[in-house]
Structure 1
């Protein structure tokens, strides 16, 4: 493999001249520039990424922190960030935080140790204060699906409260009055906001919130099953169910069919996120669209602007929309 010394020798110039040409400096005489470029081509020289990083104090790599890998939702996030960065000739290093404070901190320290130029994170456990300090004192960060008032430009987030509202409003418009709800873990901001939207829709319809029709789940498919069984065991009639994500909705659908229910005749079900399997379950799932790919792209573009000098147009707050399929139907009181 050719070295930078061989390029300098072939071109008859100094190492510093070769370095300036390779780094795109405009201070090089055009004739010398052409000699270096000719030598690079003849020798098939490829600059070392390590050497480049030493020269410009950058690694051209960005750390990505996600809660888990086995999720279509976070798969979209990772795929979008990677493809956006790859198009800009940057690379990503991915770590998993598992929604655990210690694990998320370890992941951040690992990414810093790998000399990442910036971090793109879907972080739940890390405090606002920790993230603000990280951004100010160590390296730039971008946050997906999270809003911190002191870092407005670094955040891309969804109006989760409106999403929860849209899900329940849809059922109310179909004539449902007894509506159960399986929440995500309410210590998570998005889950708490979706539940607030559900309650607002009920209040606006003049329906009192019955806490016995709310089950606190953990966003897993299993808790969709457990949640439905628990709600049914409370022996309070309901004709519709809102789940705070599609995984739990999928579990609830599976459980309902195992119990012999005819869906949506016996029970209308709404999910949240519109992940890829939402239109493969039976009946196909009515859900709320969560544009994670768009939020991830905005986070990547923010880092490309902030760290690498690009000038991408940015959007920080995204609106959800209702996607109506066959898992909901009109209810005759």
Structure 2
């Protein structure tokens, strides 16, 4: 494999000149630059990304820690990051945290071992102080889908309380007074915050939400089916179901239809996230749009910016709000 010294000898120039060409530096004539680049191509030379990053003061790679790799939501998150890294000619390194403390910590440490200084981290299991410590250690550390006041300027997050309130307000506004909720069994902030918003909206409307009308299961289609099966087994009466995410909503609709219950004529269903699945459910799913691709792109921009020694300003925060997407799975009663 050719080295920078081989290129310099073949081009008849100094090592410093080759280095300037590699890093798009000044003080190199047009013809010399052309000749060096041609020889680099002929000899198959590939610049060392980490060495180049030291010269240009820019991160050569961006690390992304996701909860899971197979979930469509996290595919959208990764795509949002990729739109930024592609523009900046930066490589993505992916690592999975699995919503477990040790796995999330190790995922971040693996990226550190690869000398990654720009990171977009989706962490739900690690405690606040551990993440604050990582933020002090890693120049381009940015959290997505989580808010920690001490590092607010490194957090890109969604207002899930407002999201829960919006979905309940919309169902109530369509005349629904008997609501059931299927939520995630993971003991993390997101389901708690969404449930808080739902409770607030229902309380404001003078509607009770007994614990018997809330079912918890895994946040996927199987979990949605199981949660709905459990609700039906209790004999509970409801006209609308508010689901933690679109996958659970889809599973719930399948279980309802398997029991001869029409959606939305008998029971309406509202999801959360607006992943691709929501458009192709039958009926098409009314849901809350989670602008995760936009948020991920913002997080990636911040991570690269901070890794380039431009540190975050105090007092900044990057909060996003979900919006209702009206489709066919909810009808007026």
TM-score by length of structure 2 reads 0.91
* Contact 1:66-1:123 within 8 A present in 2 as well: yes
Provide the residue aligned with 2:62 in structure 1.
Answer: 62
Q: 5+ unaligned residues in a row in structure 2: which ranges? A: none
Provide the residue aligned with 1:39 in structure 2.
Answer: 36
Structure 2: distance between partners of 1:48 and 1:165: 50
Structure 2: distance between partners of 1:228 and 1:309: 50
**Greater RCO, CA 8 A, separation 6+:** 2
Does residue 52 in structure 1 map to residue 52 in structure 2? yes
How far off its partner does 1:119 sit? Answer: 1.5
Give aligned pairs, total: 327
Deviations 1:265-313 (A, max 9, x none): 110110101110101111111111101001100100101211237899x
How far off its partner does 1:114 sit? Answer: 1.4
Deviations 1:21-58 (A, max 9, x none): 433444x3x54x75244333245254233542565687
Q: 5+ unaligned residues in a row in structure 1: which ranges? A: none
Q: 1:127 to 1:43 in 2, by over 3 A?
A: closer
Q: 1:18 to 1:278 in 2, by over 3 A?
A: same
Structure 2: distance between partners of 1:184 and 1:38: 60
* Contact 1:242-1:270 within 8 A present in 2 as well: yes
Structure 1: distance between partners of 2:263 and 2:288: 19
Structure 1: distance between partners of 2:325 and 2:50: 47
How far off its partner does 1:167 sit? Answer: 0.9
Question: Counterparts of 1:43-192 in structure 2 under 5 Å?
Answer: 43-44=40-41, 45-49=45-49, 51-53=51-53, 55=55, 60-185=60-185, 187-192=187-192
Q: 1:16 to 1:206 in 2, by over 3 A?
A: same
How far off its partner does 1:316 sit? Answer: 1.0
Aligned to 1:235, what secondary structure does the other structure show?
coil
Q: 1:135 to 1:311 in 2, by over 3 A?
A: closer
* Contact 2:50-2:60 within 8 A present in 1 as well: no
Q: 1:54 to 1:154 in 2, by over 3 A?
A: closer
* Contact 1:62-1:91 within 8 A present in 2 as well: yes
* Contact 2:117-2:138 within 8 A present in 1 as well: no
* CA RMSD between the two structures: 2.3
Structure 1: distance between partners of 2:167 and 2:262: 21
